[in-house]
Structure 1
Amino acid sequence: MTVQLTNTQTRDVEALLHPYTNAVTHRATGAHVIERGEGVYVYDDQGNRFLEGMAGLWCCGLGFGDEELIEVAQAQMAKLPYYHLFGGRSHEPAIELAEKIKDLAPGMSRVFYQSSGSEANETQIKLAWYYNNAMGRPDKKKIISRVKGYHGVSIVSASLTGLPYNHKGFDLPVDRIHHTSTPHYFRGAHEGETELEFSTRLAHELEQMILAEGPDTVAAFIAEPVMGAGGVIVPPSGYFEAIGPVLAKYDILCIADEVICGFGRTGEWFGSQRLGMQPTSMSMAKQLTGGYVPLSAVAINADMASVIEGYSGEIGTLGHGFTYGGHPLGCAVGSAAIDIMRRRDIPAHVRSLEGEFQRRLRTYSDNPLVGEARGVGLLGALELTPGGRGTFDPVGKVGAFMAAELLKNGVILRAAGDSIVFCPPMTITADEVEELFAPIENCLNATLHWAKSEGLMS
């Protein structure tokens, strides 16, 4: 249905091409224009307030309008608004933030900066190839990702992503990228199979893929500790503990994509620590600066650092980098964000709320529209199904309807297919958690009624 667009909405459709948006539908309905933010809330240009249950795009972990981050940004802009790290130049904010990342990230030795999570994961693959060339293994270049994994939208990072909309129309994935099974017990387990048995089977499937491709051709395995855009899929018990020995057996790098899980979201500093993953390198972004400034980082262990640094000496340079990688504004804000997270002990705050947050999620498990309620820390999802383990046809229509119902009730959540996903600012209070969940039951029931009226379920 076409609506009368405001002046701002008209300007928007005539000037912008929006990501992850149906441009034809958008032209008819117009943009939802957000004007300002405060704490866990954002306000649109009509004065309506919304509890931002997704922290923007999984990134504003410290909420909106943090005065300390704003003051740090203003001071850095006045002192050194831009400089780079090319050709051996540096600046204090980049050094200080790298030291803090190393201090928090177990086993990491060097930090390389970019501007986004996509760029971080693109860098990961280039470094894995560079590393294996340095080691005299020019054929060891294939990367194994997972179906439903999300690792970005640049050419290689989108190929790592295991979601169809990131491939359709773009001639992706590219060669050298392969996808193994999603560790989703609810969807993938055989009848009677325990979580540990499921994890063991998936590790065996991974090993069979490696053997089929040839271990001497496989460079790295990349995984989110908890899969975000794929629907907040929490791996089953023993999953990474079963995967790790397979990777070690065939000398395959283990890349942890911590872009969503990092900096306290799961109740530990990094999701790898919470989920039993032992990475050789880590990608981070989003909450690295609380979402306030674009910045990402790749952290690598001492072995990779030694090999890569030595190879740059043979070649004459490390021929990779970004104009805004290590931007002083981003690094200053990132350093301040880590200070705030440490001072407030954000991981402990997340753990203090996790029990009630996850309990509230699971109270909806008996709703006839909910197939599974799942989550860890302050991440969660309600997977909507037409009953049992079935899926809606078409996928995504029911999830989109419920997200729209929630918006009418003052809560912004996101539909990942037909899973409603939760990722509020980590500064959220117990009372705000209650406010977040308050409209869920009514919106589920409204969506259930609509789905039946549309013939999508009986």
Structure 2
Amino acid sequence: MNAATDPKHLSTAELQALDSAHFLHPFTDHKGLAAKGARVITHADGIYVWDSEGKQILDAMSGLWCVNAGYGRRELADAAHAQMLRLPFYNSFFNTTNEPAVRLAARLAELAPSVGGRTFQHVFFSSSGSESNDTNVRMVRRYWDLLGQPQRKVIISRHNAYHGSTMAGASLGGMGGMHAQGDLPIPNITHIQQPYFHELAEPGESKEAFGLRAARWLEAKILEVGPDKVAAFIAEPVQGAGGVIIPPDSYWPEIQRIVDQYGILLISDEVICAFGRLGHWFAYEKFGIRPDLVTFAKAVTSGYIPLGGVMVGDRVAQVLIEKGGEFNHGYTYSGHPVACAVALANLDLMAREDLPGRVKHDTGPYLAQRFTELKDHPLVGDAETCGFVAGLVLVKDKATGAHFPEDLAVGMVCRAHCFNNGLIMRAVGDRMIIAPPLTMDRAQVDEMMALIRQALDLTLAELQQRGIL
């Protein structure tokens, strides 16, 4: 009997050996991982996870931006169990449906606010944000075909955006490392610069002025491509995996003006931002924008089971329904009954505990207050929050804002100190970012901030010891 089939408890070393031998991880240097061994997470509760060595770690990333309701919620496990006993699976092809999918679609339509007269009464289900953004490409191009404008195929996105890792999702995203593998992006997808004030603002430029200038990069690209060829603009309200890039307040109103002027569709990718993360059920409400399609996933089930989808605005849905005939697109797990049942239980839980309201009125402002205090640290060039996401940038010289050389990977140095001292904080280059569970209270915010400051102090000490500072 080998270790994989041995019923006895496996040691950390045995699990790591099996992992290296068989498990290809996402976004991983597998040779490097095999040399040190993967961290084995065994259980979780509330805002904490534990590894196979018994170490408690505060998860300030909600798993991967998704465990909004926190770990250990028995009601979500019970919902999955009950639905598995009743109807574990049936497809949504061939003129069939199931009750959890129907109820969830109606619930999401009820939660999605009307902004500027635009409403969302229809939902297309998938299993992930990547699949959902692939769906957006199909829907957008089908919409323009049905309106007699098949030349409108180009979708504009932003550099450093993340919209998934499938061929279409990775193409929509603006991650250079992803585009370098797989001949990406696919045709008719192009990109503009991101609204990152700290990196791209001109000397003396105000945030308001920068926000307007950054938004007008979209208009310039539309004119370069040709307005009659542009189908849509896709963007995250706040860029997540790109480093928690929070646009200036002037940015989104100007983006809305531009898409309205040229008649192109607006896709709000809220895989990270929806379901309370920014203090609203959907982030487009916070920014006052009027999207035609809204991508969701992750927190709709608090990550307990895979589920994603697209909220389809009336402008698009009516054309697809009234003129489209059969829409030749879909997934085996579209409207999976167990996933939808868990999502319903999760949304009930979030509404009962008013997690979006807590972020908007209580813990979000408190996090902003505490996180801003990090600006006094010698390594921190800027620190900002939006709801329950936050990011800080590590700099070599606070006075000039000079960055560390890229090859030093200072963000990874800081991340290692975080993990080694009981905190999960993500590094995106030299930006350190968090997205904690929305269940976190003020005392836990204080605990997290103490761990962050400790990691910064240890990073500073290491850099000084190495003669970098």
Q: Note whether the superposition's TM-score is higher than 0.5.
A: yes
More displaced, 376-385 or 287-296?
376-385
Partner Cα separation in structure 1 for residue 112 and residue 401 of structure 2: 38
Aligned equivalents of 2:450 and 2:35: distance in 1? 31
Structure 2 partner of 1:342: 351
**Contact 1:395–1:418 (CA under 8 A) maintained in structure 2:** no
Q: Name the counterpart of 2:47.
A: 40
What's the secondary structure of 2:463's corresponding residue?
helix
> 8 Å contact 2:195–2:247 — kept in the other structure?
yes
User: Is this contact kept in 2: 1:117–1:285, CA < 8 A?
Assistant: yes
Residue of structure 1 in register with 2:339 after alignment = 330
Provide the secondary structure at the position in 2 that maps to 1:372: strand
Contact 2:106 / 2:121 at 8 angstroms: preserved in 1? no
Contact 1:187–1:389, Cα closer than 8 Å, also in 2: no
Counterpart residue type for residue 189 of structure 1: A
Instruction: Give per-residue Cα distances to partners, 1:34-82, cap 9 Å, x unaligned.
Output: 0011111111111111111101000000111101111111100000000
Q: CA deviation at 1:270?
A: 1.3
Task: Find out whether 1:200 has 2:212 as its counterpart.
Answer: yes
Equivalent position of 2:116 in the other structure: none
Shift in Å, 1:419: 1.1
1:180-259 equivalences in 2 (<5 Å): 180-259=192-271
Match of 1:299 in 2: 311
Structure 2 residue 388 is matched with structure 1 residue 378: yes
Is 1:434 matched up with 2:441? no
Indicate the RMSD between aligned Cα atoms, in angstroms.
Answer: 1.4
Distance in 1, Cα, partners of 2:247 & 2:340: 32
Which residue of the other structure, out of 24, 27, 31, is the alignment partner of 1:24? 31
Q: Deviations over 1:364-421 (max 9, x none)?
A: 1122211110111111011112224333322671111111111111111111121111
C-alpha displacement of 1:245: 1.0
Deviations 1:409-456 (A, max 9, x none): 11111111211111111011111111111122221122123234445x
Q: 1:366 aligns with which of 358, 376, 387?
A: 376
**1:128-139 residue pairs with structure 2 within 5 A?**
128-139=140-151
Q: Give the aligned partner of residue 421 of structure 2.
A: 409
Residue identity opposite 2:383 in structure 1: A
Q: Secondary structure at the match of 1:149?
A: coil
Q: Which position in structure 1 is the counterpart of 2:70?
A: 63
Question: What's 2:79 paired with?
Answer: 72
> If the length of structure 1 is used for normalisation, what is the TM-score?
0.96
Distance 1:395 1:305 in 2: 48
Letter in 1 for 2:186: V
Contact 2:359 2:365 survives alignment (8 Å): no
Deviations 1:115-160 (CA, angstroms, capped at 9, x unpaired): 0000011101110001011111111010111111111000111011
2:53 partner letter:
Q
Equivalent in the alignment of 1:394: 406
Work out whether residues 233 and 374 of structure 1, in 8 Å CA contact, stay in contact via their aligned partners in 2: no
Counterpart code for 2:13: T
Cα–Cα, structure 1 residues 61 and 395, in superposed 2: closer, same or farther, change >3 Å?
farther
Task: Supply the distance in 1 between the matched residues of 2:407 and 2:322 (Cα, whole angstroms).
Answer: 49
Q: 2:217, 2:427 → 1: CA distance? A: 30
> TM-score w.r.t. structure 2 length?
0.94
Instruction: Choose from 295, 301, 306 the match for 1:283.
Output: 295
Q: Distance in 1 between matches of 2:186 and 2:378?
A: 40
3-state SS of 1:43 partner: strand
Equivalent residue for 1:118? 130
CA contact (8 A) 2:80 2:342 kept: yes
Find the partner of 1:103 among 103, 107, 110.
Answer: 110
Aligned position for 2:4: none
Percent identity reads: 40
**Alpha-carbon separation, structure 2, partners of 1:395 and 1:215:** 41
Displacement of 1:310 after TM fit? 2.6
The separation in 2 between residues aligned to 1:392 and 1:252, in whole angstroms, is 40
Contact 1:233 1:375 in 2 (8 A): no
Distance (whole Å) between structure 2 residues aligned to residue 437 and residue 373 of structure 1: 12
5+ residue gaps in structure 1?
none
Structure 2 CA distance for partners of 1:135 and 1:430, relative to 1, 3 Å: same
* Residue 156 of structure 2, aligned match among 132, 136, 144: 144
1:424 aligns with 2:413: no
Given residue 91 of structure 1, which amino acid in structure 2 is its aligned partner? Answer: N
Counting matched residue pairs gives: 451
Distance 2:417 2:37 in 1: 17
Amino acid at match of 1:8: L
2:367 corresponds, among 357, 377, 392, to 357
Structure 2 distance, partners of 1:64, 1:446, is 29
The one-character-per-residue Cα deviations of 1:70-111 (angstroms, maximum 9, x if unpaired) are 111110000000011112210110010001111111211210
Whole-angstrom CA distance in 2 between matches of 1:125 and 1:7: 43
AA aligned opposite 2:19: D
Moved more, 443-452 or 359-368: 443-452
